[in-house]
Structure 1
């Protein structure tokens, strides 16, 4: 009863508005005036992921700094660094640098960012309206992390074991195989 579906009116793939525009529509339609959790619909997580733990971690980083953001990260394989955005972290799991699809020789980090789940602070939602011309939602975080050290808004990481990006048939088959054969605790998904 508390689910609200918002239709952006798009009827063809070529007419899509993009993630930031749809998020803006949702914020306006629902009169959002609080922190915001954004979840991409084509991402499934392994069973170690907990939305409760994610939101609790968000409030923990908020206690450190009210302008902090939180993103998920998982360890990718060496040969995959050039496929993903890689985060270089300090000992507190605070992002020090984000590299776009670096070569293996350009970073020692294997912390791939999962861009389809965010906790955004209330004040930063206003930035979405300024960034509406951007290509997609992760540019919000890229801009935040790309600012000078003095003006940068802190972004912290919660580590997970991995995710599935169900964007094509091979990734769907891999995901289906995991959930049929390897899932140890199905009740975790009911929480």
Structure 2
């Protein structure tokens, strides 16, 4: 299995926060891509590389970034030259970005990637009780029974936070996805299954990425950028199931970064 990490964003929310905070405490964060922010002194993505190295079925990691951060990622990846490949999508600012799904398609085409794949946002970390091998094992058993299936994690969010997340509805007492809602009002659904960008995609699902972009090519970037838009498209074309996790961190702004950093600073496993 290959891993594709989407890290071509420009961190505009975090950058804005840092400009409004005059503190030496945060000066070391300026100019860093979110995926390489120090979490308890370790680059965020390095936590994931440690995890991937323990899962034998994972063959290689591909990181899609942009021209602004390309050299920083190349420098970071030198520790694992045989395990990580970096590519820039050639964009230089937030206005020219390809979007998350566009980045995924670019990486797959650049490296000619096929087969089952783990796709994840580069600014995400899970709580330390997450066990990737368990999720991968379930994914493979699921595909033996129902080929072309995909598996995505969900965690319970607060009522008021549905408007911040992609929400998955599942069959009662089951795990199969029946609907996807992008940032719905809490009264629009009884589901509180928030879904982060961390997808175990079957080989069939991977082939749907370019098809999705072709069909949505006439739409503005905002209507096809978020990976949740692809999930909404995908679950109507092949089976999708959920895997429950206890929670996750998204270092999109300074507050969420500090929350994540503090968690790992005080982690018993760190």
TM-score tier (shorter) = 0.7 to 0.9
What residue number does 2:225 align with? 135
Please, what TM-score do these two structures have when normalized by structure 1?
0.85
1:93 aligns with 2:171: no
Structure 1 gap segments, 5+ residues each: 187-191
The 10-residue stretch of structure 1 (128-137 or 34-43) with the greater mean CA deviation from structure 2: 128-137
Residue 164 of structure 1 deviates from its aligned partner by 0.6
Secondary structure (helix, strand or coil) at the match of 1:5 reads: strand
Moved over 6 A (4+): none
Q: 2:97 matched to which residue of 1? A: 16
Corresponding residue of 1:30: 111
Q: Distance in 1 between matches of 2:183 and 2:229?
A: 14
Structure 1 residue 24, shift from structure 2 partner: 1.7
In structure 1, the residue matched to 2:268 is: 184
Match of 2:162 among 81, 84, 93: 81
The aligned residue for residue 162 of structure 1 is 247
Distance in 1 (CA, whole Å) between partners of 2:243 and 2:232 is 17
**Cross-structure match for 1:54:** 135
The alignment status of 1:144 with 2:234, answered yes or no, reads yes
* Unaligned runs of at least 5 residues, structure 2: 1-81, 218-223
Taking structure 2 as the reference length, what is the TM-score of the superposition? 0.61
Deviation at 1:173, TM superposition (A): 0.8
From the superposition, tell whether residues 28 and 103 of structure 1 become closer, same or farther in structure 2 (CA, over 3 Å).
Answer: closer
How many residue pairs align between the two structures? 179
Q: Which one of 189, 194, 202 corresponds to residue 107 of structure 1?
A: 189
Q: 1:106 to 1:20 in 2, by over 3 A?
A: closer
For the residues of structure 1 that align with 2:187 and 2:110, how far apart are their CA atoms?
46
Distance 1:5 1:129 in 2: 21
Query: What secondary structure sits across from 2:84 in the alignment?
Result: coil
Greater mean alpha carbon deviation, residues 37-46 or residues 59-68? 59-68
Per-residue deviation at 1:144?
2.6
Residue by residue over 1:130-154, the C-alpha shift from the partner in whole angstroms, topping out at 9 and shown as x without a partner, is 2223333322210133x4xxxx421
